A and B are shown apart, each in its own frame.
Chain A
């Protein structure tokens, strides 16, 4: 494996290999920050052409814990704001000897383009492209679900997971539907019809418009951020109505199964898709998702940069 652009690049065995690697890395880290020499001398560029807090910091922390050199590059304050094309930027990075580029871009397919056109010889890791995919987020979500609900199994068979809210604009939802269903989970999408994309019927997931009927049936509820910055149209009458039908409040939380967990990829709109007391409750694993994100991204960097294809179970 050279690039990580989409969950479709992975087989179930690849994905489980990454999750297992992350599990061992988490055990090594064990709360205390420890530096591993594994990627010493490698250069990883974080190319963020769109705002990000946790993904960029998470990739940076992961790379640094593996002793790679990290160069952060954001579109603001770089020549991209002077109109430099992605190609010219990529060739600059190549000339500087980047071994991997972690790219976040507002255009769907930007990471694919960077990888396909062979502008650079290193690995390309998609850290979110437009409304397309965000594979590392899906992997860390799967890791979190497996850790809490997996009962020691390597996959997610028998679990039912609801993904709720702005599916239309969500790359997190796309990657998660692909990954969670590949790992054997039963995925249900809950959203108003206006926030579901065309062709959603063909996704490996069922669809519901009635949040309250879904809540008691699932093991995990993944709330999605309402992406107002991508909304060029009126998708629901007003935020109070959205909140009433599709927001997760404490009353709805009390209808969840005892073991079920609440997830959110962040950043949250507190009071819109998720109530503040739910986000801060004991069921919420939202902060832990961030911690897991570092271990999962270390695993991704290890698999892509430490050599060739991951040989799961080999010695």
Chain B
């Protein structure tokens, strides 16, 4: 037993050290909504809350277009402004991964193009890779007109299919909303 422990100690320590080094952010939340807003629109002077109120018909139309149920109850919609100039929108939302809530935020240009996507908190056991820049970057430049479908224009993460599917669906709903409701104004 002693020999076994000695055999493995260096490897375990090495692996633990490799993982610990970049782990500087503690706590359940990776980013707060305010931090995400600032990171997404550094030039904005104000983020004006703009609650999403949808009529039943609008909701049905959006659901049909997005291909998933739309429920804006969890959405936190903000208009990013610099003085009177509209820079775009930030929407914070949450979806269930496999069991746990995944909080994320999406930044849109005034025309409804996705500028950025951030994972605010991720609690699932597997699939933490949705936080990598490489995975999130897949959404950039797309609009509600894109498929925004896992296995089509968004590649999944092996072992975290549920989390990837649900985040992608969430982003699609927001993109369709921004494109058809906000960007039209």
Are A and B bound to each other?
no
